[in-house]
Chains A and B, each alone.
Chain A
Amino acid sequence: MADKNFLPRLSWAILITLLYLFLLAPIIIVFIISFDTRQYLAFPPESLSFGSYVKVFHNAKFVSAFWRSLAIGAVVGFVAVSAGMLLSLSLVRYRFRGRGAVNFLILAPFLVPHIVLAVGIMLVIAPIGLLDSYPGIVLAHLGITIPYTVRTITMSLTAVDARVEEAARVHGASPLMVFWRITLPLVRPGLVAGGVIAFLISFDEATISLFIVSVKASTLPTEIYHYLEHSTDPQIAALSVILILISVVVVIGVERLIGLRKAL
């Protein structure tokens, strides 16, 4: 019996391994290249060093774009979670006319290509002078991140027993107190997961950002994009590894909090 199943099982295992390797190939290769000592792209590396990383840390353009992306992502995460919390609360705890429409409006950004949204947002914010500005890029990232925060927070909120809130109300707590002392702590996993996903989407987003920012508010992905149009040297590999590590931290965090599959 075991003999008969051995070959199919082995070939199945090899197939799955190969597919995983394909899926992770760019990440693995970028990791190896980032330690190459040469100035130009080549494979395999002749000798290994942290030279590319040192260069990235001395590249003023990348460093300032990194801090800008971090700040923009943090603001986007905070605003998207706040708006998402209120939206989820009204959708989960209330039955009202137009609830379906609100639900649809929240999910609709999933149905529109980013590049189409990008052109639209560009047209909206250009006349009011917000192109290539912080408020402009934050606004642009809100529409695509709020659906995610609503999703993760709704998941946490549905799991909270509404009777706990009611009990607090019956015992004399004000609605605000109930929200602050009962609801908020109970949905914390959803809040944090939504926040980090929103942060990461904003931090990694290139399509919409390329339409909105150019010089003053350029983000790290847009700087990398413009750099790649001319050169592909290992500096970008080092930078990519840093970005991937940030993603890994977020992935582990979300997985621990509510499960990655459900959040995406």
Chain B
Amino acid sequence: MSAAPATGSPRSGGNSRALLLMLLLPGLAALMVTFLLPLIWLLRASFASDTTSAFGGGDVTLESYRAVLFDPFYWQVAWNTLVLGFNVAVPAVVLSYPIALFLTRTTSRFRGVLTALAVAPLLTSSVVRTYGWMVILGDRGVINSGLQALSLTGGPIRLSNNSLGATVALVEILMPYAILAMLSGFGRLNLQLEEAAAMLGANRLKVFTRIILPLSLPGVLTAALLVFVLAISSFVTPRLMGGGRVFVLGTEVFNEATVTLNWPLAAALSVMLLVLFSSIILLYQRALSALET
């Protein structure tokens, strides 16, 4: 209706609306089928009573939700998931912070290369990087071989096939996201402010706690949130590093969807993960706006 080109070229009057529709249609259709529809189907399937058919089987029922909410196992799984998210988010943020700070402040001519090196792991498959951690933390892996060569330990110490391995691998795999989030959030950091503070007699520690830290806090929070939500929804790394002994929402969704083939239950678990995911993001937005006022 009000489809006028922003620049208002003289000839594009009546048929510009049709043109706009043609431009929008393919992309919107694709997003509809691959994004909106799946979410609606997911919600519908989570209320389906027939566990054997994919969609619309049987009556509308709360059975899948009841099965989850009244089973202590799933409460344990939900708890494990939150603990994993927390245990991954904190170290990932702490380890990413110096790198992000360094990349923001450096005047090195290798800055571009160093930035690329820090975020490039994002573009390698998480399966490949998980394999790297299996090699490092495995029973015959890098660390255990090293410890045994130095005769520090008799047998291998358990670093993988448990939640420790999953946590370490996820920290490293999600660090580039944290670095990226911090780099975009550190725009307010200003060398001149620090110099001014130093000139007025503040020591290094004071410059850090009074200037650098407060100014970088929003970026740090965004990074923590991002890593947390990615960690609680991960499943490839917890599954492979956990060796089937780590039970989080992601691994259970995959199990129900592809092994047990109880699709309504998988859908109900996914909906719960989505609710958890969104409420954390909402909570974060509240916290951020409270921080800024």
A residues in contact (CB < 8 Å) with B? 8, 12, 15-16, 19-20, 22-27, 29-30, 33, 40-44, 79, 82-84, 86-87, 89-90, 92-97, 102, 105-106, 108-109, 111-124, 126-127, 139-140, 142-144, 146, 150, 162-163, 165-166, 169-170, 175, 197, 200, 203-207, 210-211, 221, 224-225, 228-229, 232, 236-237, 240, 243-244, 247-248, 250-251, 255, 260-261, 264
* Cross-chain pairs A/B with CB under 8 angstroms, 6 sampled: A41-B134, A94-B16, A123-B41, A127-B55, A146-B31, A225-B240
Interface residue from A24, A41, A94, A140 paired with B6 (Cβ < 8 Å):
A94
Q: Say whether B36 contacts A105, CB under 8 Å.
A: yes
User: A243 contacts B128, CB within 8 Å?
Assistant: yes
Main secondary structure of the interface of B (DSSP, over half): helix
Q: Are A25 and B132 in contact (CB-based, < 8 A)?
A: yes
Q: Which residues of A contact B254 (CB under 8 A)?
A: 115, 210-211
Name A86's contact: one of B9, B26, B122, B263 (CB within 8 Å). Answer: B26
- Confirm or deny: B207 has a beta carbon within 8 angstroms of a beta carbon on chain A: no
Chain B residues closer than 8 Å to A165, beta-carbon distance: 7, 9
**What 0/1 readout, one digit per residue, does chain B (120-132) give for beta carbons within 8 Å of chain A?**
1111111111111
Q: Find out whether the CB atom of B240 lies under 8 angstroms from the CB atom of A16.
A: no
Q: Which of B126, B142, B273 contacts A113 (CB 8 A)?
A: B273
Q: A126 to B54, Cβ gap below 8 A?
A: yes
A-B CB contacts (within 8 Å), total count: 294
Q: Which of B19, B119, B126 contacts A206 (CB 8 A)?
A: B126
CA distance A162 to B236 in the complex (A): 45
Nearest Cβ distance between residue A3 and chain B, in whole angstroms? 16
On chain B, the residues within 8 Å of A170 by CB distance are 9
The answer to whether B11 and A210 have CB atoms under 8 Å apart is no
Q: What is the CB-to-nearest-CB distance from A14 to chain B, in angstroms, rounded to a whole number?
A: 11
- Which residues of B lie under 8 Å from residue A106 when comparing CB positions? 27, 31
Taking beta carbons and an 8 Å cutoff, which residues of B are in contact with A? Answer: 1-7, 9, 11-12, 16, 19-20, 22-24, 26-28, 30-31, 33-39, 41-42, 45, 54-55, 95, 98-99, 102, 112, 115-136, 138, 140-142, 145-146, 169, 172, 175-176, 180, 183, 204, 229-230, 233-236, 240, 250, 253-254, 257-258, 263, 266-267, 270-271, 273-274, 277-278, 281
- In the bound complex, residues from chain A placing their C-beta under 8 Å from that of B2 are 95-97
A115-B250 in contact (CB<8A): yes
Q: Contact check, A119 vs B240: say whether CB atoms are below 8 A apart.
A: no
| Inter-subunit contact B34/A142 (CB<8 Å) | yes
Quote the shortest CB–CB distance from B98 to chain A (angstroms): 6
Nearest CB on A from B171, distance (A): 9
* Bound-state Cα–Cα, A24 to B31, Å: 35
| A107 → chain B closest CB, angstroms | 10
B residues near A119, Cβ cutoff 8 Å? 38, 42, 253, 257, 263, 266-267, 270
Closest chain A residue, CB of each to CB of B44? A123
Contact of A112 among B9, B39, B115 (CB under 8 A): B39
Besides the contacts A26-B136, A139-B34, A229-B240, what 12 more A-B pairs have beta carbons closer than 8 Å? Answer: A27-B129, A30-B128, A96-B3, A96-B4, A97-B3, A116-B39, A116-B277, A139-B33, A146-B27, A207-B126, A243-B128, A247-B124
A222: min CB distance to chain B, Å? 8
CA distance A109 to B38 in the complex (A): 11
Q: Which residues of A contact B180 (CB under 8 A)?
A: 261, 264
Return A117 CB to nearest CB of chain B, in Å. 6
Across the interface, name the chain A residue whose C-beta is closest to B256: A119
* Given A43-B141, A175-B12, A86 and B27 contact (CB-CB distance below 8 Å): yes
Leading 3 A-B pairs by shortest Cβ distance: A26-B132, A120-B38, A143-B34
- For the complex, give the distance between the alpha carbons of A111 and B233 in Å: 12
Q: Find out whether the CB atom of B7 lies under 8 angstroms from the CB atom of A29.
A: no
Knowing A119-B257, A228-B240, the reply to whether A23 touches B27 (Cβ < 8 A) is no
